[in-house]
Amino acid sequence: MINQSYTNIEIIIVNDGSTDDSIKFIEPYLDNPRIKYFTQINKGLGEARNVGIRNASGTLITFVDSDDWVDLDLYGMFFLDRMRDKNGADIYRTKTKFRYPIQKDRQGNYKIKSGEMIRVCMTSDFFLEEADAWRDEAWEIMSQRRDVKFFLLTKRPERVADHLPYNWGEGWENIFFNVTTENQQRADERIPILLDLPFRHKGIMCAPFIGPVSIRKYLEYGQIEQVLCDGARPCNYDWVKSLRQECVDFNVTFVFCGTGRRFLKDGRLYKIEGNGLQSQQAYRSGMSYRGKPIHFDLYDDLGYPIPDDRLHVPNFRERCQTCVMKIICNGCSDCGSCEKRERDR
Run means of pLDDT, 10 residues per run, the chain, 345 residues: 84 90 84 91 90 89 78 77 69 75 92 93 85 93 96 95 95 96 94 98 92 96 96 89 98 94 89 85 94 95 93 86 86 65 52
- Asked if 67 and 155 count as a contact pair (C-beta separation under 8 A), the reply is yes
* Strands of 234-236's sheet in order across: 234-236, 262-265, 268-271
pLDDT (tens digit per residue) in 248-269: 999 999 999 999 888 999 999 8
**What does the alpha-carbon distance between residue 63 and residue 288 come to, in Å, rounded to a whole number?**
33
The DSSP element (H or E) to which 201 belongs, if any, is strand 201-209
Residue 53 is given by DSSP the state H
State the amino acid at position 28 in one-letter form.
P
Per-residue pLDDT, 293: 94
Residue 67: CB atoms within 10 Å: 15
**Alpha helix ranges (H) inside 147-235:** 184-196, 216-219
**What does the alpha-carbon distance between residue 75 and residue 70 come to, in Å, rounded to a whole number?**
9
What residues form DSSP beta bridges with 175? 150
Kindly list the structural domains of the chain, giving each domain's residue range(s) and its CATH number in brackets, ordered by start: 11-83 (3.90.550.10), 100-285 (3.80.30), 314-344 (no CATH)
The DSSP code sequence of 295-345 is: ----B-TTSPBPPGGGS------GGGTT-TTGGG-------SHHHHHHHH-
**What does the alpha-carbon distance between residue 273 and residue 28 come to, in Å, rounded to a whole number?**
13
Per-residue pLDDT, 29: 86
Per-residue pLDDT, 291: 96
Residue 121: CB atoms within 10 Å: 16
State the amino acid at position 317 in one-letter form.
R
**What does the alpha-carbon distance between residue 278 and residue 17 come to, in Å, rounded to a whole number?**
32
Per-residue pLDDT, 206: 93
- Asked if 263 and 281 count as a contact pair (C-beta separation under 8 A), the reply is yes
**What does the alpha-carbon distance between residue 147 and residue 151 come to, in Å, rounded to a whole number?**
13
